[in-house]
Amino acid sequence: MRLWRSVVGKLWVTILLLVSFVLFILTILLLEFFQNYHVGVVEKELTHTAEKVARVIENHNDLTLGMELGKEIIDEPVNIIISLDQNQSLYSQDSTVFQKKIHHYISKDNKLQSVKSKEITVKKEVELSKESSNRYENVIVVGTPLHINGEDGAVYLYQSLGVIKDTTRQTTKLILLAAGIAIILTTIFAFFLSTRITAPLRKMREAAFEVAKGKFDTKVPILTKDEIGELATGFNQMGRQLKFHINALSQEKEQLSSILSSMADGVITFNRDGTILITNPPADRFLQHWYYEQSEEGEEAIPTTVRELLQSVVVTEMEQTDELSLQGRSYVVIVSPLYNNNTIRGAVAVVRDMTEERRLDKLRKDFIANVSHELRTPISMLQGYSEAIVDDIAGSEEEKKEIARIIYDESLRMGRLVNDLLDLARMEAGHITLNKDVIGVVPFTERVTNKFIGLAKEKKVSIYFESDVELNKEIFIDPDRIEQVLTNLIDNALRHTPTGGEVTVSLKEKKGGFLFHVRDTGSGIPEEDLPFVFERFYKADKARTRGKSGTGLGLAIAKNIIESHKGHIQVQSKVDQGTTFTFFLPI
């Protein structure tokens, strides 16, 4: 069945049917031609012979001589009958019964009886039955008029058509044999021609399937220079062009994908109905936050705010912007229309994470508020005590000295606050200058710790120094800046450790550097406030409220100093159990 569905089978069958039809018509025409030709030749010969016999008889007026001559010039299987006035007949070379049947047919045929003049010659095919056989035999009868001794008659010659039919059958066999051979040869030729024509087509079909699989390097061999060869050339050129365009599209797609993937903002492409088409990693994180916030019954694929913006863009054909918060992060969503010719086919949403900007904005506002708060108290005190001096409220010299001392302390406090702010600003701007030197890490740490022994005794707090580091170990640091960090941490620990508590400063060696620990047994810091302890003016915890001399910038400065030494600092604390500050300095 597959052969008949192929081009080879269809072409083969078409050529075979066409040639077979032509051969069939040609065979029928040839058979008819040969049959008529043989009969015509026999009729012509019989007519010519009958006329010769009739002329001899008429010239000699002798029937016997005519019969003798007829016997001489007529050979088997031709027979002669001479009839005069339809009542006398002579015959030769045949049985009497069969000759009489021929004469009977002649006498009964009106056309043959109408032979009266020499200008008319008649011929007739009749069908007779022989005595010795049950089969019928066709004979051809030819007559010519005869006039002798004043009587009218006719000379009839007849011959069996069996010989002609035998010749026709042989001719038919030869024609059919030739037709069969022609059909066989045509079949072979048609199959060969179909194969030659369709072989390149099959190769093109295979190549087309390979190209459909993405193998654009597939080439069709060019076997001929005809139309099929040109088709193969065109196919190969098409493959090259497809490969070129596909590569160009792939490069553009990869470029677009790389651009989308590397973008800091999230990008989401929508259909008009809100179906998500394309997203990039930041957009995926945004959607994951949305899915996480949804309840189990929620069926929204995108946030309600984004859906409303999308619907507004489709209606107004204008860019829309809004803000929303997810998982504690702030996002700005900008939705713009996507056009297909003159119609909107969807929209593209740019999701920008504004958390850091909002945090910095909040820090700026908090910074202004905190600085204002920190400066307001000393300025108010300076103003109040200055007015007391101006109004001469202090009556004694001791009261005036006390007021002057308070004004002096508050001015020092304001100076420290301003200096700390300037130092922090320089550090955050990257303008900090480190005067590094190689020092012994153990003696340095122990010396800074021993500075606070007197203050610890006043507050009735025990202070210890621990170290498992060899005494000859050295480190390359800025000793003044690191001493500033240790001083701030130890001072905070002593300030927030109650009477009878302990403060421990420990030093440990770690791969690539040293770990410094400042641990106290004070009130601790709540867990929710731990991420903010290194921010400027941090004072969320009442237990950690600075003393009067504090500026609230010490931990922020300490963090910047440690990070400028390529180290890191962290804090661990539990309420009512104590706090541990740890910082690492690389060698």
DSSP 407-457: HHHHHHHHHHHHHHHHHHHHHHTT------EEEEHHHHHHHHHHTTHHHHH
Give me the pLDDT at residue 278, please: 85
Q: Identify the top-confidence range among 161-165, 308-312, 378-382.
A: 308-312
Average pLDDT over residues 119-143: 53
Q: What is the pLDDT of residues 431-443, one digit of tens each?
A: 677 788 899 999 9
- Which tokens sit at 217? 């390097």
Q: Is a pLDDT exceeding 90 seen at residue 518?
A: yes
Q: Residue 581's closest CA among 490, 461, 473, 478?
A: 490
Residue 381 CA to residue 410 CA, distance in Å, equals 7
Please report how many Cα atoms fall inside a 13 Å half-sphere around the Cα of residue 425, on the Cβ side.
8
Mean pLDDT (whole number) for 326-349: 84
Once rounded to an integer, what is the mean pLDDT over residues 281-298?
75
Percent of the chain scored above 90 by pLDDT? 5
**Cα–Cα–Cα angle for 445, 451, 457, nearest 5°?**
125
pLDDT at position 119, please?
36
Summarize pLDDT for 183-204 with one digit per residue, the tens: 888 778 777 776 777 777 777 7
Cβ-in-10-Å burial (0-12, 13-18, 19+) of 109 comes to middle
Render pLDDT for 5-58 as a digit per residue (tens, 0 to 9). 666 667 777 777 888 888 888 888 877 787 777 777 878 888 888 888 788 777
What are the chain's domains?
10-168 (3.30.450), 263-353 (3.30.450.20), 358-428 (1.10.287.130), 437-586 (3.30.565.10)
User: Is residue 518 classed as helix, strand or coil in its secondary structure?
Assistant: strand
Mean pLDDT of the chain: 76
Residue of 149, 35, 32, 137 whose CA lies nearest to 84? 149
Which run of H or of E encompasses 26?
helix 7-60
pLDDT tier for residue 241 given thresholds of 50, 70 and 90? confident
